[in-house]
C-alpha cells in the first residue's frame, strides 16, 4: 500500500468490531468535517455464511465476497488488500471503538503501551467486549504498522454524569474501586449531538435501540443520566441481555441453581432479554412478524421492550423537567416505526410530536442515523493534530 500523499489530507481508517462482525470506514478531511471515502462491513466472521461488503459513499457496491472470513485477522487482511486495490494510501491513523475503558480511561486517546496495559487490567469490567477489542487492536497495529492508533471509548461521553447518577447505592469503597455507572453508546450519542448542532435544545432524550439498547438524558448536550450501568448488560431489556434485574434474582440463581459467575454472565448476556421472552428469538423484524401472526411470546417481548424504554423516557422527563426533543437511533430505533409508535404511546402528555417520514424538524420526536464511525474519525483527526502531552490528556 502506498504512503499518504504530502498535500492531501491524511486518511483515517475506523474499525468498529462486534462479536462476529467488523464495520469500517475510510475518511478524509473536507469542508471542515470528515468525508467518507469507503465504508463496509464483514459479517458472519467464523461462520459459513460470512461475507465482506465494501461500498462507495453513494452506496455503489465495490466489493461483495461470500464465505471468506475465518477471523477478525482474516477480515482485516482482506480489507488491507482491497484498500490497496482501490489505490488508497496507507491510513495515517486507525481509530478503534472500545466499549469500555474501565475507571482510568474515560477520554479518547492515543494507543500507547500504557493504554494497552490499562485496557488489559480493565477486562473484568467488560469481559465479553475488551478481549476481542484488544485482539483486533493488536492485529491492526501489525497490519497498519505505519499508522498511529487511537482508542475511542463509548464511556467517554458519560464522564459528565453527576455523582447522583454515577455512584451506585453501595459502600463508598466500591465506587473508589471503579464500581460505578459508566454508560455506553457514547459515540453514537456524541454523533447525534454533532449532527443536531445548534438545533439541539436544552432538554433532550436519546434512545439508541438495537441488539444493545440504552437511553440517555441530556442537558445542554451533556449526559446527565443513562440507562446502562457499570456494564452494557444493565438498563432496558435488549436482544439477548437481561437489562436491570432485582439483585435477589441473581442470589436465587446462585443459591438454588448453583450458577457461578461465568454461568450467570452467559445467561444474562446471551440467553435473556427479548430472546428470553420469545423462546430464543432476538431479531426485531422476526419478532414483529411473529407478533403480527399472533405469537403471544413475541408480542410480550415487543410490549416489554417498548414499555421499558417508555418508562425510562418518562423518568428522564421528570429528571429534566420536560423533554424538548426525543431522538431514536440504532438499527431498531431508526428503522422500526412500530417500536417507535409503541414507545411513544402514552407520552403525548409530554407534548411529544413525531416529525413526518422525511424527518421534518418541526416534530420533536425524530429518528436519526447514528454516525459512530464518522465520530471516531473526528476524534482521531483532533488527536492527530495535537502534541503528545495534549493527546495523553485528551
Torsion from C-alpha of 26, 29, 32, 35, nearest 10 degrees: -30
Nearest to 202 by CA among 220, 218, 187: 220
Question: Measured between alpha carbons, how far is 343 from 133 in angstroms, rounded to an integer?
Answer: 33
Q: What is the per-residue DSSP string for 304-343?
A: HHHHHHHHHHHHHHHHHTS-SEEEEEHHHHHH-HHHHHHH
Chain centre distance of CA 292: 29
What residues are labeled active site? 154
> What sign does the dihedral 214-220-222-225 (CA atoms) show?
negative
| Residues 371/191, Cβ–Cβ less than 8 Å | yes
Distances (CA, A) of 229 to 92, 161, 226, 355: 35, 11, 8, 31
Q: Where are the beta strands (DSSP E) in the chain?
A: 12-17, 22-30, 33-43, 51-55, 61-66, 93-98, 109-110, 148-153, 203-208, 214-219, 222-226, 325-329, 365-367
Strands 148-153 vs 109-110: parallel, antiparallel or unpaired: antiparallel
- Look up cell 439541539; give the residue: 200
The one-character DSSP state at 90 is: P
Residues with Cβ < 8 Å from 244, sequence gap 6 or more?
227, 229, 234, 235, 236
| Residues 97/17, Cβ–Cβ less than 8 Å | yes
Nearest to 152 by CA among 193, 189, 207, 201: 189
Distances (CA, A) of 389 to 95, 263, 323: 19, 43, 40
**Interhelix angle 261-270/247-256, nearest 10 degrees:** 130
| Residues 119/151, Cβ–Cβ less than 8 Å | yes
> What sign does the dihedral 332-336-338-344 (CA atoms) show?
positive
Amino acid at each position: 500500500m502506498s504512503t499518504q500523499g504530502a498535500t492531501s489530507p491524511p486518511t483515517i481508517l475506523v474499525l468498529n468490531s462486534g462479536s462476529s462482525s467488523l464495520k469500517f470506514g475510510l475518511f478524509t478531511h473536507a469542508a471542515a468535517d470528515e468525508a467518507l471515502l469507503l465504508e463496509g462491513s464483514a459479517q458472519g466472521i467464523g461462520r459459513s455464511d460470512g461475507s465482506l461488503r465494501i461500498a462507495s459513499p453513494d452506496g455503489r457496491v465495490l466489493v461483495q465476497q461470500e464465505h471468506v472470513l475465518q477471523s477478525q485477522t482474516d477480515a482485516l487482511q482482506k480489507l488491507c488488500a482491497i484498500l490497496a486495490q482501490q489505490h488508497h494510501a496507507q491510513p495515517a491513523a486507525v481509530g478503534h471503538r472500545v466499549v469500555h475503558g474501565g475507571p482510568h480511561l474515560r477520554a479518547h486517546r492515543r494507543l500507547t503501551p500504557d493504554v494497552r496495559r490499562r485496557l488489559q487490567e480493565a477486562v473484568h469490567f467488560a469481559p465479553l467486549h475488551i478481549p476481542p477489542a484488544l485482539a483486533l487492536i493488536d492485529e491492526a497495529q501489525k497490519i497498519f504498522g505505519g499508522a498511529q492508533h487511537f482508542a475511542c471509548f463509548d464511556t467517554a461521553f458519560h464522564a459528565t454524569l453527576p455523582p447522583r447518577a454515577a455512584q451506585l447505592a453501595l459502600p463508598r469503597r466500591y465506587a473508589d474501586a471503579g464500581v460505578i455507572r459508566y454508560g455506553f453508546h457514547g459515540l453514537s450519542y456524541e454523533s447525534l449531538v454533532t449532527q443536531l448542532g445548534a438545533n439541539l435544545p436544552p432538554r433532550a432524550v436519546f434512545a439508541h435501540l438495537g441488539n444493545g439498547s440504552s437511553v440517555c438524558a441530556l442537558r445542554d448536550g451533556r449526559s446527565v443520566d443513562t440507562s446502562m450501568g457499570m456494564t452494557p448488560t444493565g438498563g432496558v431489556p435488549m436482544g439477548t441481555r437481561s437489562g436491570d434485574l432485582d439483585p435477589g434474582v441473581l442470589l436465587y440463581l446462585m443459591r438454588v441453581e448453583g450458577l457461578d459467575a461465568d454461568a450467570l454472565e452467559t445467561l444474562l448476556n446471551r440467553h435473556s432479554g427479548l430472546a428470553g421472552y420469545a423462546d430464543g428469538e432476538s431479531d426485531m423484524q422476526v419478532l414483529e412478524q411473529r407478533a403480527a401472526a399472533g405469537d403471544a411470546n413475541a408480542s410480550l417481548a415487543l410490549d416489554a421492550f417498548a414499555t421499558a424504554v417508555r418508562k425510562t423516557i418518562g423518568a428522564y422527563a421528570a429528571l429534566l423537567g420536560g423533554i424538548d426533543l426525543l431522538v431514536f437511533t440504532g438499527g431498531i430505533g431508526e428503522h422500526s416505526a412500530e417500536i417507535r409508535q409503541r414507545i411513544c404511546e402514552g407520552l403525548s402528555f409530554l407534548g411529544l410530536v413525531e416529525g413526518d417520514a422525511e424527518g421534518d424538524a418541526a416534530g420533536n420526536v425524530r429518528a436519526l442515523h447514528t454516525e459512530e464511525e464518522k465520530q471516531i474519525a473526528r476524534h482521531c483527526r483532533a488527536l492527530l493534530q495535537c502534541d503528545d502531552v495534549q493527546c495523553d490528556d485528551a
